[in-house]
Structure 1
């Protein structure tokens, strides 16, 4: 590797300063906990739907109305997809607010 690709001492000091900042630990902790929580919610929704398919397929095939063609499974399936979109939106909303603010404070303090 050439010497130009090696990080400078100032860069390494800045990285250490950021990693030792309590706000950085707070950011990592909050973001990780929130991401795992949303992931668990999505997995419960998805695998719950799969378990219904596996163990109560007939119920999902029940018509919504006597003369209709739409089954109960269709809106539930759409709900699974929409829940993924909603959970992504919730993460982005919080990331653009609280997480970005913490990130800005960390960068400001590292200068």
Structure 2
């Protein structure tokens, strides 16, 4: 691609919309994950007995294990949500922008 195509892409209102949507979505997911981590750390700091409590009487498993695993799994789920939207909506917008720029 040459410089004129790059300029057309940069000046395209759809491109600006794509960038804004993608940034907003990425920041939303990032803050959600940050919130989950902060909540976990605050739980460790101020209510450690919750994580150390056994799930049931006689169980060797404490609540800390499923909560920690859930935190890790939430990162995978949020990544999957981002990838699904990126491969769908964002890629379609990108293809349309490139098509318009090459005309």
Classify the TM-score, shorter chain. Answer: over 0.9
The aligned residue for residue 89 of structure 1 is 80
**Larger Rg belongs to:** 1
Match of residue 6 from structure 1? none
Give the TM-score, by structure 2 length: 0.97
Are residues 1:13 and 2:16 paired?
A: no
* C-alpha RMSD of matched pairs (Å): 0.9
User: What's the CA shift for 1:59?
Assistant: 1.2
Is residue 42 of structure 1 aligned with residue 36 of structure 2?
no
Aligned to 1:103: 94
Q: How far, CA to CA, are the matches of 1:45 and 1:58 in structure 2?
A: 19
Distance 2:76 2:60 in 1: 26
Shift of 1:93: 0.2
Q: CA deviation at 1:58?
A: 1.1
Aligned length: 102
Whole-angstrom CA distance in 1 between matches of 2:77 and 2:50? 26
- Which 4+ residue blocks in structure 1 deviate beyond 2 angstroms? none
TM-score (norm 1): 0.90
